[in-house]
Structures are given as C-alpha cells and as structure tokens.
C-alpha cells in the first residue's frame, strides 16, 4: 500500500467542461455503418433501417457529437453517390479500406440518425481526391436554404430544411502516406486555407477544423502543424489530433500511463498553435479537436481481415479488456484537464470498429468494457474542471521513463457544489490510498464506483455482455479536511461527493 495526496479546491478552475468533449466517430469502414448504425431488416431496426438498440446505447454513452463519414474513407468519397433515390445510387470502390461501398447510407440518412440520436454532426470534406469546388458543392447541398442547384437538389431529395451543419473538417490525416491525396504541410495548408475561404463565403456561421498530424510519432509532427497554420491560421478554428494507444513490447507501465503521452501530445500542439499566433501577433486562439482517439491493437491489424472488395467486412473489431477500460478512463482525464484548449474530442469509432458498442446480425447490441468509464465520465463530469496536482510515487516505464503511479482529475458543479473525482492507480501490485484535502465546505460521498483491481483480462462479449460492469466500493472515509479512498492495483475510480447537509441547530 502506498499513499498519494491531492488538493481539491473550487478556486482553481481550468475551464467549463466542453459539451463536445464526449463525441464519437462514425466512418464508412468495416461494420460501423452497415451492420452497425444501419441494418435494414434487423429486428432492432426501425422502418428506415436505423438500429434502435444502437441509438439507445449511444444515448446512454452520453455522446454529444459525431464526426462523419471518415476517416481515411473521406479522402476518396463522392458524397453525391450517397444521396437521392437509393435505386439510382451506384456501388463504388472504397480505396481506403478496399471495400465495396453500396452508398445506401449517406448524408441525409446520417442526419436523420443524428436527429434521432440527439447528437450534433461534424462533417468532413474530401481534400484527398477533391478540393475547393467539391467542398463548396457539399456545403451548398447541406446548408444553403434553396434556390440554387445543390440546395434544390437536396430539396428534391425530400429534405426541405437545410441541415445547418456547423462544424466541418477540412480533410483527414493529410500527412499520412496511406492517405489518398497525401500532401506536404504547406500544400495542405494552402488548400485548407482556400477551401476555408470559399466555404465561409457560402456559410459564414460554420467553424472549421484543419488536419494536424495523424499521430504524435509522425516524423513531421510539430513541423506539420506549424506549416499548416502558417498558411491557414486566420481562417480555421481548430487543428485536429489523432491518437490510438496500445501496449508496446512488454512495457505495461507505459501502456497504463498512455494518458501521459496524450498530455504531452496536447501540450505540444497547444505550444505550436500559440507560437504561430505570436508570430502573427494574432489575438485569435486556434483550439484543438481531438477528433480520433481510442485504444487500437494496431500490431494485430494486417490491414484487411477479410477478402478485399467485400461489403462491410469485419475490420478491427477489437475486444477490450478491463485493463483497457482503466486506460481509457485515464485518457478521458487527460482530455478533461486540457479542456481550456481541447473543446472537441471524438472516441473513434462508435460501433463495431474499435468501438464501445458492438453488434451482430442475430442479436442485440452490447457494451464493451470501455463503454463504462466513458458513460460515467460523460454523465458526471459536470460544471468546471478543477486544477488538481496529485503528489504520487513514480513507476518506471521502459518507453516513457518515470511516470506517476496515481493520476487524479476532478470536476465541480458550481450550482450544486457536487464534485466528481476521477482517479487511476497504475501500479500493478499495490493498492494506493488517495488522501484528498477538500477546500471549502465539508463533503460526503454520494457514489464511489470502480473498474479494475481484478480480472484485468475480462471482456464483454455477445454471450456474456454484462460480465464487466462498474462495481460500487465502500472503501472510502470522510475525514475532517477531506476524504481518503482506496484505489486497487490497476483501477479507475469515480468518487462523487456533495456538500454535507448541516443539521439545523
Ligand atoms: O479510425 C480508423 C482510421 O484511423 C481512420 O480512418 C483514420 O483517420 C485513422 O488512421
């Protein structure tokens, strides 16, 4: 047993919890769309083919925004193939995943799903095989009220009211050699700036996301962001970050400390944005859209699990363990403590493809282990994020060096005084005692739940969909100056407190 201490003080706030921090991502990849959100004829599907069990779990997960339609898919996508009468839509080749795209689900079906699911859409335009003109055509189709070619085309497709999509991504991972239409930072920055300029003339209310690096390990990381923003700083609102985590070699401590990698990735991109702002003497702030993040066992991904040119093949349907859920809960803590700059984040992806929700054709949808820390954080991280500086012993990671054994983040609802503490113990052998000094009012614990501490390799599956669920804990104690709680080895905990009701004299 070892001890970690932290102070929770409502005076030290970082930022309000951004509502779009709890976003997700739906790509035309594998069985995310076909056989995931959309499966006509499935007993759980409505008359439009939308799976209601998936909609129910998406709401329960607390998803606020969804990015669509890719991903690498978008860089070869022709959006007009996916609108209009289904009988007229062509089946096409998706070059990103070497699959056949039936185009029976497209922009208008996605928007119907978004309305039913009560999420805000984020749309990506193709800057791989296409450019300024096509981005404008799509925006005109989606957002222009009527009386022009593309807006009238939308109306002729039965969608009278414009979709009014606010947030648009200017391409996807344009630095990656795997991307169709890969560009240099300067080439992409010029294209992004010109596309942004033209799109804003059609709809000045939109906000735009420029592509950052595909991941922090890209050889051009840092330079790419600077080159893109040198060209596009004045016309974009966000720069994107993508990160997928897995264990490298036998460095389990490094995997458990993935949130530390996320912390420094975010801080590197913030520094680059602010460097460009300073160079330009710009009063604008470009914020960060972490619009793809998750765990992904890329070392097990061969690129294609099924024959090429299949429809909706089973691609990267990773099954997540309890340990993965602990790491994912910790990654959310990293996003929360950077919520002054990361104001959009999308867990990639939503269904089947590296996803918190799984489906099969012959049964109802179920929750993967990673569903649980996400849903609990989305529901209970309310109000403002507090600045917490835990004092913890260190562990040694062969890839990261020394990392803190315990990580802590907290949020507080200023209206009710309710405070939610998120804590992770990364130590594989020892439980930790977390001693919290709570400044201000006395608190009582209203809920203490955790994941981990045991059965770290357990998963949920179609035959055992509820094997892993958060369990409640009584291992906490209210003390005169705060509280203490026990954190089992390799665990994620959420402790909700409320100001203690003072008895009338
Ligand atoms: O989410 C899967 C893929 O990962 C996306 O298509 C791409 O943007 C990223 O490399």
- Per-residue three-class SS string for 161-214: CCCCCCEEEECCCCCCCCCCCCCCHHHHHHHHHHHHHHHHHHCCCCEEEECCCC
Beta partners for residue 472, in sequence order: 449
Compute the Cα dihedral for 391, 393, 394, 395 and give only its sign: negative
Catalytic residue among 101, 173, 323, 384: 173
For the chain, give every domain's residue range: 2-10+385-499, 18-380
Q: Check pocket membership of 237 for ligand 1, CB cut-off 6 A.
A: no
Q: Whose CA is nearest to atom 3 of ligand 1?
A: 71
How far does residue 28's CA lie from ligand 1's centre (Å)?
10
With 0.95 as the threshold, say if the pTM is over it.
yes
Q: Which atom of ligand 1 is nearest to the CA of 244?
A: 4
Q: Which of 99, 121, 104, 119 is nearest to 41 (CA)?
A: 104
**Contact between 342 and 266 (Cβ < 8 Å):** yes
CATH assignment, 18-380: 3.20.20.80
From first CA to last CA, the distance across the chain in angstroms is 41
Q: Which atom of ligand 1 is nearest to the CA of 348?
A: 1
In a 13 Å sphere around the CA of 146, the CA atoms on its Cβ side amount to 10
Taking residues 278-285, what's their average pLDDT? 97
Q: Check pocket membership of 173 for ligand 1, CB cut-off 6 A.
A: yes
**pLDDT-derived band at 136, boundaries 50, 70, 90:** very high
- Alpha-carbon distance of 364 to 298, in angstroms, equals 27
At 435-466, the pLDDT tens digits run: 999 998 899 999 999 999 999 999 999 999 99
The overall average pLDDT reported for the chain is: 96
- Alpha-carbon distance of 233 to 399, in angstroms, equals 34
Residue 292 designated active-site: yes
Q: Dihedral (C-alpha) 67, 72, 74, 78: value to the nearest 10 degrees?
A: -150
At 466-499, the pLDDT tens digits run: 999 999 999 999 998 999 999 999 999 999 999 9
In this predicted structure, what is the pLDDT of residue 440? 86
Phi first, then psi: what are they for 55, rounded to 5°? -60, -45
Q: Which of 486, 369, 496, 338 is nearest to 425 (CA)?
A: 486
In the three-class reduction of DSSP (H, G, I as helix; E, B as strand; rest coil), residue 53 is classed as helix
Q: List CB contacts of 218: < 8 A, sequence separation 6 or more.
A: 175, 176, 224
Catalytic residue among 225, 292, 384, 418: 292
Task: Specify the fold of 2-10+385-499.
Answer: Immunoglobulin-like (2.60.40)
416 CB burial (10 A radius; 0-12, 13-18, 19+): exposed
**pLDDT-derived band at 7, boundaries 50, 70, 90:** very high
Could you give the angle at the alpha carbon of 207 between the alpha carbons of 206 and 209, nearest 5°? 140
At 320-376, the pLDDT tens digits run: 999 999 999 999 999 999 999 999 999 999 999 999 999 999 999 999 999 999 999
Residue 187 designated active-site: no
Q: Check pocket membership of 349 for ligand 1, CB cut-off 6 A.
A: yes
| pLDDT value at 304 more than 80 | no
Phi first, then psi: what are they for 132, rounded to 5°? -60, -50
């Amino acid at each position: 047993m070892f001890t970690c201490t932290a102070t929770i003080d409502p005076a030290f706030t970082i930022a309000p919890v951004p509502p779009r921090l709890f976003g997700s991502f739906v790509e035309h990849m594998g069985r995310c769309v076909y056989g995931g959100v959309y499966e006509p004829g499935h007993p759980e599907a409505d008359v439009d083919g939308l799976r209601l069990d998936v909609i129910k779990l998406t709401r329960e997960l607390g998803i606020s925004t969804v990015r669509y339609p890719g991903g690498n898919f978008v860089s070869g996508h022709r959006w007009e193939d996916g609108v209009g009468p289904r009988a007229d839509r062509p089946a096409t080749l998706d070059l990103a995943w070497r699959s056949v795209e039936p185009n029976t689900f497209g922009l208008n079906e996605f928007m119907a799903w978004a309305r039913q699911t009560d999420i805000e859409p984020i749309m990506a335009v193709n800057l791989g095989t296409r450019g300024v003109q096509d981005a404008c055509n799509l925006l005109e189709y989606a957002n222009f009220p009527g009386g022009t070619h593309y807006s009238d085309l939308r109306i002729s497709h039965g969608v009278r009211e414009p979709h009014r999509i606010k947030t648009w991504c200017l391409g996807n991972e344009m630095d990656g050699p795997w991307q169709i239409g890969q560009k240099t930072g300067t080439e992409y920055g010029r294209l992004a700036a010109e596309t942004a300029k033209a799109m804003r003339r059609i709809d000045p209310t939109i906000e735009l996301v420029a592509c950052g690096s595909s991941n922090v390990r890209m050889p051009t990381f840092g330079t790419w962001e600077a080159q893109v923003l040198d060209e596009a700083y004045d016309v974009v609102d966000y720069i994107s970050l993508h990160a997928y985590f897995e264990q490298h070699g036998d460095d389990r401590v490094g995997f458990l400390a993935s949130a530390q990698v996320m912390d420094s990735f975010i801080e590197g991109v913030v520094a680059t944005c602010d460097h460009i702002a300073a160079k330009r003497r710009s009063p604008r702030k470009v914020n960060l859209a972490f619009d793809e993040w998750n765990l992904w066992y890329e070392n097990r991904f061969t690129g294609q699990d099924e024959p090429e040119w299949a429809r909706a093949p089973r691609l990267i349907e990773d099954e997540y363990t309890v340990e993965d859920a602990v790491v994912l809960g910790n990654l959310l803590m990293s996003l929360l403590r950077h919520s002054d700059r990361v104001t959009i984040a999308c867990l990639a992806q939503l269904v089947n493809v590296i996803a918190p929700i799984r489906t099969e054709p012959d049964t109802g949808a179920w929750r993967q282990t990673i569903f649980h820390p996400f849903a609990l954080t989305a529901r209970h991280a309310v109000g403002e994020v507090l600045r917490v500086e835990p004092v913890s012993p260190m562990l040694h990671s062969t890839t990261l060096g020394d990392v803190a054994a315990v990580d802590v983040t907290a949020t507080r609802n200023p209206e009710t005084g309710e405070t939610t503490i998120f804590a992770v113990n990364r130590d594989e052998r020892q439980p930790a005692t977390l001693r919290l000094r709570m400044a201000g009012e006395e608190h009582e614990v209203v809920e203490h739940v955790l994941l981990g501490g045991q059965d770290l390799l357990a998963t949920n599956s179609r035959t055992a969909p509820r094997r892993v669920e958060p369990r409640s804990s009584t291992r906490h104690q209210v003390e005169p100056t705060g509280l203490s709680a026990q954190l089992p080895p390799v665990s994620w905990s959420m402790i909700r407190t409320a100001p203690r009701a003072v008895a009338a004299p």
